Every structure is written in structure tokens, then in C-alpha cells.
């Protein structure tokens, strides 16, 4: 019984070391970023369509996002569409932007239900701290599709919606990141911060040491 309690403590401690999942919907990670900065986002796809593998993800970028740089992914086909910017907007380096990326699509993949793949995109965000940008997303599967396009109405949250659109909350720019690039946290291939993983491993190692120490003490007695 005593060993059972010790093992339960180890399992509980390890669970505390890892963050809870961000939910069962497609979302952008991080979900909050400095306004007027540039940030690299991961598109997180936690499951397929009713269990069917995901074969494509298409992002519809809001008009406030004037610059986007998607990263290719081996085994997937990357494509984009553009649209005119009217009126033209400053590009930040003395010129003008006359067109922008309107949609980004990764297609031809095969992501089994319950597995993750890292789709990445760098977005230049508007200077609108305190507002939320919504990025309607189409998830295409071998069988069916899910349109993550719902936006909360007044008094609602994403939890009230069946298929909420991925969102980005624009925060006030921190010192030194006003209009420069805001670096994303150091992450592993699944978008989990390395610091969290190392902390979790340390906690698990500490608990394992506690178990071994208690066992040794029991034998000595």
C-alpha cells in the first residue's frame, strides 16, 4: 500500500509538470503576441475530422495582417494566394505594400488522428494592442472537413462555440520589441517550450529519486 501511494505521488507530480492541452480545436501557438511585431506561429491540429486523417490546412488571413511568410513542410504542398492592398500601406522600410498574402494552404499531407505536425508561419501583426485577430481555418481530411470559422459574439467565449476560428490576442509591445521581430519561445518539434520539458524531466527525476530513497530506507529498517 505504501509503495502504491508513492507511485501515485510520482504520477501526480509528473502530471503537474506538463501544461494542459490548449483544447480540442485547431489553434495558433502562441495565442497571444505583441502588437506591431513579427512572430512565428505554429498551427496546432489536435485531431482529424471525426477520426479521419488530416490532409490539408488552409488559413484565411485577416486584412490587418499585411505580411506573412509560411514555412514549407516535407511531404506537404505549400501554396498561397494574394490580394491587392487598397490603399497601399507603408512597408516599414520606406516603401509601400500594394499586395498581401490572403490565404496559405498546406495540402497533400497525411496526419493521423491524434498525432501532431508543426505547420509554421511568420506574421507581421498590426499596431492594435488589446484587440483579437481571428484566422478562419479550413481543415480538410480524407473523409470530410471542418471549417474553424466561428467568432464569439458579445458575451461568448471560444468554449461556447463548436468550431471556433484560431485567434491571436494582441498585447502591448514589451520593451525592446516595439516594431522589431518578437522571437517565439524555444520549442521542440511539437510546439512545447523546451524549458517546460526540462522542468518536467527534472521533476520526474526528483520523484524517482524519492522513490528509490524511501525503498532503500525501508530495506535498511
Phi first, then psi: what are they for 65, rounded to 5°?
A: -90, 105
Residue 197 domain flag: yes
What integer pLDDT is reported at residue 202 of this predicted model?
52
Are 33 and 133 part of one and the same domain? Answer: yes
What is the spatial distance between Cα 170 and Cα 11, in angstroms, rounded to a whole number?
Answer: 36
Are 15 and 36 part of one and the same domain? Answer: no
Longest dimension (CA), the chain: 81
Residue 4 domain flag: yes
DSSP letters spanning 48-59: -BTTBPEEEEEE
Q: What is the dihedral of CA 13, 18, 22, 28, to 10 degrees?
A: 170
What is the spatial distance between Cα 111 and Cα 183, in angstroms, rounded to a whole number?
Answer: 27
Burial 162-173 (b: 16+ CB within 10 A, else e): eebbbbbebeeb
Are 15 and 61 part of one and the same domain? Answer: no
Containing structural domain, residue 53: 24-182
Q: Is the separation of the CB atoms in 82 and 99 below 8 Å?
A: yes
Claim: this prediction has a pTM higher than 0.85? no
Assess whether pLDDT exceeds 90 at residue 207. no
Q: Which three cell numbers stand for residue 24?
A: 480540442
Are 153 and 202 part of one and the same domain? Answer: no
Are 30 and 131 part of one and the same domain? Answer: yes
Are 221 and 135 part of one and the same domain? Answer: no
Residue with more model confidence, 203 or 168: 168
Residue 187 domain flag: no
Are 107 and 159 part of one and the same domain? Answer: yes
Tally the domains of the chain. Answer: 2
CATH of the domain at 55: 2.60.40.2230
Span 177-198, pLDDT tens digits: 444 444 444 444 344 444 444 4
Are 109 and 218 part of one and the same domain? Answer: no
Are 125 and 206 part of one and the same domain? Answer: no
Q: Is the separation of the CB atoms in 166 and 128 below 8 Å?
A: no
Are 32 and 2 part of one and the same domain? Answer: no
Are 123 and 159 part of one and the same domain? Answer: yes
Span 47-93, pLDDT tens digits: 999 999 999 999 999 999 999 999 999 999 999 999 999 999 988 78
Are 109 and 198 part of one and the same domain? Answer: no
Amino acid at each position: 500500500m505504501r509503495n502504491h501511494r508513492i507511485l501515485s505521488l510520482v504520477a501526480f507530480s509528473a502530471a503537474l509538470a506538463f501544461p494542459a492541452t490548449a483544447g480540442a480545436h485547431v489553434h495558433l501557438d502562441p495565442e497571444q503576441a505583441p502588437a506591431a511585431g513579427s512572430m512565428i506561429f505554429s498551427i496546432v491540429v489536435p485531431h482529424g475530422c471525426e477520426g479521419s486523417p488530416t490532409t490539408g490546412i488552409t488559413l484565411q488571413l485577416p486584412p490587418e495582417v499585411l505580411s506573412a511568410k509560411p514555412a514549407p513542410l516535407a511531404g506537404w504542398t505549400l501554396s498561397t494566394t494574394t490580394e491587392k492592398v487598397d490603399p497601399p500601406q507603408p512597408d516599414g522600410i520606406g516603401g509601400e505594400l500594394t499586395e498581401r498574402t490572403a490565404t496559405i494552404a498546406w495540402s497533400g499531407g497525411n496526419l493521423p488522428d491524434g498525432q501532431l505536425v508543426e505547420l509554421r508561419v511568420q506574421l507581421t501583426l498590426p499596431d492594435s494592442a488589446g484587440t483579437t485577430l481571428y484566422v478562419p481555418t479550413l481543415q480538410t481530411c480524407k473523409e470530410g472537413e471542418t471549417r474553424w470559422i466561428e467568432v464569439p459574439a458579445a458575451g461568448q467565449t471560444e468554449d461556447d462555440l463548436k468550431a471556433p476560428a484560431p485567434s491571436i490576442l494582441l498585447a502591448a509591445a514589451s520593451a525592446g520589441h516595439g516594431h522589431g521581430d518578437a522571437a517565439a519561445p524555444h520549442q521542440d518539434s511539437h510546439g512545447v517550450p523546451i524549458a517546460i520539458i526540462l522542468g518536467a524531466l527534472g521533476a520526474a527525476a526528483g520523484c524517482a529519486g524519492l522513490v528509490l530513497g524511501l525503498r532503500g530506507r525501508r530495506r535498511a529498517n
